[in-house]
């Protein structure tokens, strides 16, 4: 569950201060699937980075899965990122020198899981995204859709409760977009994940989520519940 209360996020200082998120209040129930839509520069990625713990609000209260993120120290925040939240990006963000399996394995290595235990869990994650036959491929030898599948496997291998996706289909053609969205929804459903999807594409958001949050100049201007 996500509870955001009076969240502000500023970048820089006056006179060139940018207000990226302004007085945002949002509650997302555990297991809900929501979309954030809005024009470029409206604060979508900033909000997602606050939810993923990559960045911290300038002010306000943000509670996710019972953890008040603003109160976590660096180690606790790293632990939150490693266990509770999986993130998928538009540009996949795979490490080019690592194979598909090695990319998926990384969060488990950082967590200190022994190698013999990792193998099965990685294989299982690749199977869930339909890429068991590409485990030893490097990212350059994978299509865009396949790279995004690896990124999804890397996000879910941690068994997170929250899945965040920032324009996950922004670099994919329409056929692959449908496949990737269906995969994300299927995984989110099966594992009862809370899903926050950022998209430029209003149609896509309407199709795949129960609730749509519109961002405009840092303000959450509208929530449409279906």
Ligand X SMILES: Nc1ncnc2c1ncn2[C@@H]1O[C@H](COP(=O)(O)OP(=O)(O)OP(=O)(O)O)[C@@H](O)[C@H]1O
Binding site for Mg ion (CB under 5 A): 45
In sequence order, which residues have a C-beta less than 8 Å from that of residue 81 and are 6 or more positions away? 52, 53, 54
Selection from ligand X, Mg ion, none that 169 binds (CB < 5 to 8 A by kind) is: none
Cβ proximity to ligand X: between 58 and 191 the closer is: 58
Could you say which residues in the range 195-214 bind ligand X, by CB under 6 A?
200
Question: How far apart, in Å, are the Cα atoms of 23 and each of 5, 6, 10, 211, 217?
Answer: 8, 4, 11, 20, 11
Please, what is the minimum distance in Å from the beta carbon of residue 92 to ligand X?
16
Could you say which residues in the range 28-57 bind ligand X, by CB under 6 A?
38, 40-46
224/211 Cα distance (integer angstroms): 6
Provide the token pair at 105. Answer: 């394995």
Please, what is the minimum distance in Å from the beta carbon of residue 110 to Mg ion?
25
Please, what is the minimum distance in Å from the beta carbon of residue 214 to ligand X?
11
Cβ proximity to ligand X: between 11 and 143 the closer is: 11
Which parts of this chain interact with ligand X (CB under 6 A)? 11-12, 18, 20, 38, 40-46, 200
């Amino acid at each position: 569950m996500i509870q955001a209360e009076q969240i502000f996020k500023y970048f820089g200082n006056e006179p060139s201060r940018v207000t990226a998120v302004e007085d945002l209040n949002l509650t997302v129930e555990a297991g809900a699937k929501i979309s954030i839509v809005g024009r470029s520069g409206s604060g979508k990625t900033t909000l997602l980075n606050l939810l993923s713990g990559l960045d911290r609000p300038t002010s306000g209260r943000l509670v996710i899965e019972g953890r008040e993120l603003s109160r976590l120290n660096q180690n606790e925040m790293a632990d939150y990122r490693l266990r509770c939240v999986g993130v998928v990006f538009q540009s996949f963000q795979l490490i080019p020198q690592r194979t598909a399996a090695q990319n998926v394995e990384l969060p488990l290595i950082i967590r200190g899981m022994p190698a013999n235990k990792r193998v099965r869990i990685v294989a299982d994650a690749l199977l869930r995204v339909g890429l068991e036959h590409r485990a030893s491929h490097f990212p350059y030898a994978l299509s865009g859709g396949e790279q995004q599948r690896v990124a999804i496997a890397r996000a879910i291998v941690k068994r997170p409760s929250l899945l965040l996706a920032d324009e996950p289909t922004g670099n994919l053609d329409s056929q692959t977009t449908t496949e990737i969205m269906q995969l994300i929804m299927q995984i989110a459903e099966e594992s009862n994940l809370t899903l926050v999807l950022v998209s430029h594409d209003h149609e896509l958001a309407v199709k795949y989520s129960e609730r749509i949050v519109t961002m405009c100049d840092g303000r959450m201007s509208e929530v449409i519940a279906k």
